[in-house]
Every structure is written in structure tokens, then in C-alpha cells.
Amino acid sequence: MRIRSRWSAIVGYSLVGAATQLVWLNFAGVTTVAATRYNVSESAIGWLAQVFPLLYVVLAIPCGLALDRWFRPALITGAVLTALGATIRLAGDTYAWLLAGQIIASIAQPLVLNAVTGITARYLTEKHRPTGIATGTASIFAGMVIAFLLSAIFPTAATVPTMLLLTAIFSIAAATILTLALRTPGPFTPAPTPHPQPFAAREVSRCAPSPTAPDAPASPPAPAAPASTPTASASTASASTASASTASASTAPAPTTRGNLAAAWGDPLIRRLCVLAIFPFGVFVAISTFAQALLEPAGVSGTTASTILLLNVIAGVLGSATIPIFVARHKAESRLLITSLATTAAACALLAVAPSTATGYLSITLIGLLLLPALPIVLELVERQTGEAEGTAAGLIWMSGNLGGLLVATAVGLLVHHPTAAFLTMAAIPLLALPGAHTLRHHLPTTTPTPD
């Protein structure tokens, strides 16, 4: 009987993924009014968001290892902590309660986001996994859209508590739905993580006789089969091979957290993807953080800049939900990454030489449409490549991306009063990744067709 995909787990995961981004960016559109309400500086309100990437860099690998070893409990813990962080912010009308809630939710974020490949590997059939990863990643960007919409609907200091209340309700509902969806293990098991033996060990294993009881006498050689019975001989050989394989499998060491980390980081493809992730993440975070300030000298108002960023994320949601599926079917990962990086460089160069409302809408929306789908494409490659270590490998990708975001955003922040130089810097960064994206096609995993 054919086992079917369990999409309820993906729905629950998508809701929790959106909740993490909603809690993260709650104050992105109301920084000034929140600073007034809580009697703190705008920089202090900014730290309510900055704590997320900072803790992600620290916790990405430990959370990935936890997901590899205890997938369902770790993911449910992430969902519960997200809801708890959102709820704690309602305990008091002070900045201290806000910061406490943000710290708790930021601890939860890597437990949730690192799980996007693991949940598809456990709850979806192989043919549905690219769609599942695209859906889960698109939901993360959808959470950003919800955050921007809520800040537009509740833009005043008096309505901030209402915005926080709705966020807490959404987070609690999402955690409840995911917990119910994960009440039983997924019907699929991720492929074992390859742990290659040293050459000498393989030779010893190949040449060693089958294990026997200690001091057991050697068995007499089996009589030769008649020349007229090749089928019987082949069957005997097959049975012997199967028996040896079973014995070998039963004595193989169970994967460990250290082994999963070594397998993930030891894979050349994963290391290449980690390096590549720095560039698109970095540019996206820098654009999201400083687009309004960089476009203001060109006469672009704050309201218009917020609308541009909203369209950027909406385009990214649509692109992430559709483009990776097409790319996976046509094995066009390298070509898409090259296209998105080159387009991003050209769009930032256009903003450097001709900043305006029109070029802002065109360039930043195009960046969202083509750059954000790079994330689910990379994560789908990770799922295909790493087997049981997919949580650790996904953690390495997210860690690299958040590190890139911190580095590029810091560099652009130093140039915030020099828009041309800032946009040219963001144009140069994707170009640095083009050679790696071009050679990536030589390292991509190949899927062996299954017999009918």
C-alpha cells in the first residue's frame, strides 16, 4: 500500500514559520511610535529585531543538532517558545517585557526555521518535497508581509498593544495546530547520513570473513553446484550478499550529533552553499533595513518606501512558492542562482545611478521576486544531499545567511548617508558570488531514477 504525504504537518509548520517572522518584525513599521510609547530610543526598539539574527548565529548549529536527534520534540519546543515569547510581551506595558519576549522568541526561531527540510523529509513523499520546502519557505516570507500589514493597520502608539495581542493569538493558534499535526511521527525516514570509512578500514571490512562464534570450527566448503544450475548459484550468492549486508547494517554505529555535524560540514556541496548563502541573505537584509533611508534623498517618502518593501516581500512569497518547483523539475538550480545574483546586482546599480520612486518599485520588487527564491532552492539541495543530518545542514545555511545579513547590513549602515556608495556596495556583493554559482552545477546531487 502506497504511503501518502501528510500535508497537515506542512500547514502547521507554515503557520509557526510565519509566526516567528511576525514576532521578529512586529516593530519594523512602528519604530518611532513604539519608542515614544515605551520611552526609549529608536535604536533600543531596533534591538528588539536585531536580537534575532544575533542569537541565530549562536544557536543555529546546536538547534540543528537537536532537530536531527529529537525532531518532533525540538520543533514543538520552538513553536511553544514562539507563542510564549509573543504572550510574555503582554505581561506589562514596558520595554523590559518586550525585550524578554523577543529573546525567548529569538531562541525559538532556529528550532523552527532549521526544520523546514526535516519536516518535508519525514511527512512528504520524495516527489512532493520540493513543493513542501517551497511552501514552508514562502510562509516565512508571508509572516513578514503580515507584520508589515499589522503595522500599517495599527500605526499609532495607542494601538501597539492591540497589534501585540493579535500576534500572540496567531502564535498560540499556530503552535496548537502544529503540535496536533505532529502528535504521531512522520511516515518517512530521512536517508541515512553517509559516514565514509577510511580506505584501510574499508579494505579490512571487505577482506574480513563473515563473523562467526568465537573459536567456532571453520565450515567445510560447500559442494560445487552443477554447471547446469546457474540460477541456483546466483540465488545462493545473492542470499549470502544480503546476509552480509544485514550483518554490516546491524553493527553500524548509530549517528551521533558530532557525526551529523562532521557529515554536514564535511560535505563540499554544503560548504559551497553556506558561502553562497551569505550574499543573497546579506543584500536582502541590507535592503530591508536601509531602503527607506537610502531612497529618502531622492524624494521617496517613508510611506512609499514601506509600500515598496511590502511589494518586495510579496513578490518574494510568490517567487518562493513557484520558482523552486520549476527549478527542481528542470534541474536549473545553478542557472537560477546566476540569474538572481546578476539581476540583483543590476537592480542595485540602477538605484545607485538613478534613484527614484519608479526605480525603487522596479528594482526592489525584482530583487524580491528573484533573490528570495534562492533560499528554498538551496534548502531543497540540502534535503537531497544530507539525509539524517538535514537539520544540522539547514542550520549551517541559516547561520551563514544571518551572518551575511549582519555583515552586509553593518557595511551599508556605515554608508547610509552616502546612498550611491551604499547601492554600489550592494551591487558588488552579488557579483562576488557569481563564480561560485556558475561552478555549483558540477557539484549538485544526482537523483537515481527508481524502477517502475
User: From CA 264, how far away is CA 352, in angstroms rounded?
Assistant: 39
CA–CA distance from 119 to each of 70, 126, 160, 270 (Å)?
A: 12, 12, 34, 19
pLDDT at res. 446: 59
Q: Which residues of the chain have pLDDT under 50?
A: 195-255, 448-452
What are residue 85's phi and psi, to 5 degrees? -60, -40
48-91 pLDDT tens trace = 887 888 898 889 889 888 998 899 999 999 999 999 999 999 99
Nearest C-alpha neighbor of 357 from the set 417, 415, 299, 309: 299
Q: What angle do CA 116, 336, 57 make, to 5 degrees?
A: 40
Give the cell for residue 441.
552545477
DSSP 215: T
CA distance 242 to 252: 15
- In this prediction, residue 439 carries a pLDDT of 83
| pLDDT score for 430 | 92
Per-residue pLDDT tens digits for 315-333: 988 888 788 888 878 888 8
Question: What is the rounded CA–CA span in Å between residue 229 and residue 210?
Answer: 25
Burial 81-117 (b: 16+ CB within 10 A, else e): bbbbbbbbbeeeeebebbbbbbebbbbbbbbbbbbbb
> What is the predicted pLDDT for the residue at 276?
85
Q: What is the reported pLDDT for 256?
A: 53
Distance of alpha carbon 78 from alpha carbon 113, whole angstroms: 9
Write down how long the chain is: 452
Check: CB of residue 44 under 8 Å from CB of residue 376: no
